[in-house]
């Protein structure tokens, strides 16, 4: 309410000031015809000025700002995959059904197009794990997350992540798995129902982990080809990842 009153008072002050200046102009030159000619001309230009300033220029500035934010976010996403994500992709890959199909769908190379990345992202959400395999991995997974908990917490403290909803969802899905594992004194010999519950959480996390990885690699291919080249050589979905450059 107070802001509305301030806005109203400010508007009245400026309108009154404009009227006073026009009145002084009339007292000096005694030419009301001249005043109305310029007044109508100025009013006619207002819609064009609003279009240029509010729509065109503002959109250009917003696009540049979003591009800047996107680059900063992708730096954060890159650090996540360097410290946590890529290791998780490698650690759990063999626990998912049809590893040959995973390799075929996700072995990124230099010839990939936007269509290939789109198909890979769609494939990521369909991944299903093999519960017996996950049961043998839970203790190791619990230790892995425990060592990186501080790093993950610092990522959540980054306000820029609010601009990237899908990556934020990935972090929450990851933290949910972390909390599920830490809430149990032991993750060995869990009841079948409890194991099934954790399996659902890991499926959710891994699917989003792969989808965000695909989006991140797509960004690297477009903007940072030298980083993309390293990912192509070292990502965990190929048969023999190696950083060594060969013919």
Q: Which has more pLDDT, 46 or 86?
A: 86
Average pLDDT of the segment spanning 226-245:
87
Q: Is the pLDDT of residue 61 over 90?
A: no
Predicted confidence (pLDDT) at residue 247 exceeds the cutoff of 70: no
**Is residue 245 in some structural domain?**
no
Distance between CA 21 and CA 8 in Å, rounded? 20
The per-residue pLDDT for range 103-139, each reduced to its tens digit, is 888 889 888 998 999 999 888 888 877 766 677 678 8
Q: Supply the pLDDT for residue 236.
A: 87
Domain containing 54: what range? 2-59
Q: Is 118 inside a domain boundary?
A: yes
- pLDDT value, residue 117: 92
**Closest by alpha carbon to 115, among 128, 105, 129?**
105
- Inside any domain, residue 133: yes
Nearest-CA neighbor of 108 among 229, 243, 245?
229
Is 131 part of any domain? yes
DSSP 137-167: HHHHHHHHHHHTHHHHHHHHT-GGGGG-HHH
Here the tokens at position 173 are 């899905």
- Is the domain of 164 the same as that of 198? yes
Flag whether pLDDT at 33 surpasses 80.
no
pLDDT at residue number 127: 80
| Domain count for the chain | 2
Asked if residue 163 and residue 115 are part of one domain, the reply reads yes
Q: Please state, in angstroms and rounded to a whole number, the distance separating the CA atoms of residues 142 and 182.
A: 7
- Domain contains 184: yes
Rounded Cα gap, residues 204 and 151, in angstroms: 21
171 and 215: one domain?
A: yes
Task: Give, in order, the Cα–Cα distances in Å from 233 to each of 158, 218, 240, 241.
Answer: 30, 15, 9, 6
Residues 37 and 92 in one domain: no
CA 24/CA 183 separation, integer angstroms: 78
> Are both 83 and 154 inside the same structural domain?
yes
Q: Is residue 190 part of a domain?
A: yes
pLDDT at 200: 87
Residue 120 lies in a domain: yes
Are 109 and 21 within one domain?
Answer: no
User: Is the domain of 229 the same as that of 145?
Assistant: yes
The CA distance from 158 to 139, in Å, is 29
Residue 46 and residue 113 in one domain: no
Q: Identify the band that residue 174 occupies on the pLDDT scale cut at 50, 70 and 90.
A: very high
Split at pLDDT 50, 70, 90, the class of 1 is: low
Q: What is the residue-averaged pLDDT of the chain?
A: 83
Task: Say whether both 6 and 113 belong to one domain.
Answer: no
Do 87 and 35 share a structural domain? Answer: no
Rounded distance between C-alpha atoms, residue 187 and residue 129, angstroms: 17
pLDDT value of position 67? 67
The span from the first CA to the last CA of the chain, in angstroms, equals 71
- Claim to verify: residue 55 and residue 86 sit in the same structural domain: no
The predicted pLDDT at position 221 comes to 92
Q: Which residue has the higher pLDDT, 158 or 123?
A: 123
- The 10 Å CB-count burial string (b at 16+, else e) for 57-76 is eeeeeeeeeeeeeeeebbee
Q: Is residue 66 part of a domain?
A: no
Got the DSSP string for 38-79?
Answer: HHHHHHHHHHHHHIIIIIIIHHHHHHHHHHHHHHHHHHHHHH
| Same domain, residue pair 30 and 133 | no
């Amino acid at each position: 309410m107070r802001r509305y009153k301030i806005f109203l008072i400010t508007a009245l002050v400026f309108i009154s000031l404009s009227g006073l200046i026009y009145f002084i102009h009339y007292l000096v030159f005694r030419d009301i015809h001249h005043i109305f000619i310029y007044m109508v001309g100025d009013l006619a230009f207002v819609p064009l000025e609003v279009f240029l300033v509010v729509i065109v220029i503002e959109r250009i500035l917003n696009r540049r700002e979003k591009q800047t934010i996107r680059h900063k976010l992708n730096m954060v996403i890159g650090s996540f995959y360097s410290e946590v994500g890529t290791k998780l992709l490698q650690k759990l890959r063999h626990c998912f059904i049809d590893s040959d199909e995973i390799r075929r769908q996700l072995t990124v190379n230099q010839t990939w197009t936007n269509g290939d990345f789109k198909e890979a992202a769609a494939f990521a959400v369909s991944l299903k794990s093999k519960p017996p395999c996950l049961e043998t991995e839970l203790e190791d997974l619990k230790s892995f997350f425990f060592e990186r908990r501080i790093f993950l917490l610092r990522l959540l403290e980054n306000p820029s992540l609010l601009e990237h909803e899908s990556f934020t969802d990935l972090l929450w899905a990851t933290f949910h798995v972390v909390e599920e594992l830490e809430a149990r004194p032991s993750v060995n010999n869990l009841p079948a129902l409890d194991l099934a519950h954790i399996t659902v959480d890991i499926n959710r996390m891994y699917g989003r982990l792969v989808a965000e990885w695909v989006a991140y690699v797509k960004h690297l291919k477009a903007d940072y080809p030298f980083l993309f080249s390293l990912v192509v050589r070292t990502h965990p979905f190929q048969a023999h990842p190696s950083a060594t450059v060969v013919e």
